[in-house]
A and B are shown apart, each in its own frame.
Chain A
Amino acid sequence: MIKAIKTFGKYLMLMGKTFTIPERMRMFFKQYLKEMEQLGVNSIGIVLLISFFIGAVITIQIKTNIESAWMPRWTVGYVTREIMLLEFSSSIMCLILAGKVGSNIASELGTMRVTQQIDALEIMGVNSANYLILPKIMAMLTMIPILVIFSIFSGIIGAFCTCWFGGILNAVDLEYGIQYEFKEWFVWSGIIKSFFFAFIISSVSSFFGYTVEGGSIEVGKASTDAVVCCSVLILFSDLILSKILA
């Protein structure tokens, strides 16, 4: 317990060091654009791919498992939309991104730490936490909501593909279900949740990477710990946020 409190204290101190005004705005924006590309744009492919197949699979599963004469035909579209909007595209997608982006951030910063690149920045008089971590957090806060929207669209397209190419159900019924009692708030709720998850992924992974001590084995361990910790925190905060935003 004491170790956990100490670790949380160290995390807060690192965030304190991170959230300061950048010394050179020009350098900050350069890093910010680079991180947006590395952490966000490079994740678009995997987000579209996974969301497309999950959207298609949800449609097939709902159709085959809840088919009943009592059930309206548009139910499949309605349920698929709600699952994609409320949970998959925000929470589950961020869990997947915690694995991809979280390990990337932790191993990058960890390697910089053990090869003394962070020490080199500190000796030059650069606030290394601000220079390295702040652009990552800002880039994630910018890109993750965009990825969530991409994920929603890709999932819905996946659902339609099961109609067009699989003949699972009528595309008109699916479309009616997707539009049935649509609440705009659910999209906003997913986006709001994604901001929290983006902050968790970027800041927690950065903390694990930045505070590595040792060599390559410790970098690998920090990378794994970062993914596990991010996943647990995302699930826990999802529980709280779902209650608050419901």
Chain B
Amino acid sequence: MIEIRNIEKQFEGKTILSNINATFANGMTNLIIGQSGSGKTVLMKCIVGLLVPDHGEILYDGRNFVHMGKKEKKQIQKEVGMIFQSAALFDSMSVLENVMFPLDMFSNDTQHKRIDRAMFCLDRVNLKGAENKFPGEISGGMQKRVAIARAIALNPRYLFCDEPNSGLDPKTSLVIDNLIHGITKEYSMTTIINTHDMNSVMGIGEKVIFIQEGKKEWEGTKDCIFTSQNKKLSDFIFASDLLQKVKKMEINNMKD
């Protein structure tokens, strides 16, 4: 479980995050949603340690990440897997080498065992056969799947995904969503996903946090979104005519 308490962050006097509190439970896909520039990525960067919040606490199963020493922070970072918006695969390494990288760096297993583990992870994301290809030779969807395989190579307890469906077609996005959701359940991880993809929200949003202008505006489940009275949330989620029609239909179904 990850808890964030009173997180605040400013850049050059401009407030980006203001007094954010949230709890992200184990074995659940927790979604942070909001418009571009709302502070989602800054919040995620604060949680994983790429940025230091100006104020507040981040607790990884009770361990305060903000105030701990370098050694302890490193220990927690080894329990973290992250999937970036751009996949962030190492260009000079093959798919297999990318997945093996965290194992090479932190595992004391033999080379044979490390390869086996990497192949298992690639198989888990349906990428067996692509191990000798380089990131530049595979599609965006495949790159995201390699990033997932790399993120789970060390059996992380916490998984972070920054807009994992960015730049992907709806069908591939669904594959990625289901993969992340499946892995979260399988390994009982605490998964936090930054997204503004409404298909992801409706599909795997077991817990949804809505952020606007650096403030937490709403918190709930995907089912509560339809009945929520929060105008800002409704304006954001049901921005298109199609989604407004879907909302009406869904509310009618609930009444029936």
Contact = CB atoms under 8 A, between A and B. Distances in A.
A67 interface: no
Interface string B74-98: 1101101010111011110000000
B84 A120 contact: yes
A26 B80 CA distance: 23
A27 B80 contact: no
A24 B48 CA distance: 23
Given A116-B88, A120-B84, A122-B49, 10 more contacts: A24-B104, A116-B84, A116-B85, A120-B90, A123-B48, A123-B49, A124-B78, A125-B74, A125-B75, A125-B80
A27 B104 contact: yes
Contacts of A125: 74-75, 77-78, 80, 106
Given A24-B104, A126-B105, A119 B78 contact: no
**Most chain A C-beta atoms within 10 Å of own C-beta, residue among B48, B80, B85, B88:** B88
A119 B80 CA distance: 13
How extensive is the interface on chain B, given as a class? Answer: 20 to 34
B105 A120 contact: no
Contacts of A170: none
Contact of B88 (A27, A120, A126): A120
Contacts of B88: 115-117, 119-120
A119 B50 contact: yes
Given A27-B104, A124-B102, A126-B105, A115 B86 contact: yes
A53 to B, nearest CB: 33
A119 B78 CA distance: 14
A16 B109 CA distance: 31
Contacts of B160: 123
A119 B88 CA distance: 8
B8 to A, nearest CB: 22
29 contacts: A23-B105, A24-B104, A24-B105, A26-B104, A27-B104, A115-B86, A116-B84, A116-B86, A116-B88, A117-B88, A117-B89, A117-B91, A119-B50, A119-B84, A120-B90, A122-B49, A123-B49, A123-B77, A123-B80, A123-B82, A124-B78, A124-B101, A124-B106, A125-B75, A125-B77, A125-B78, A125-B80, A125-B106, A126-B105
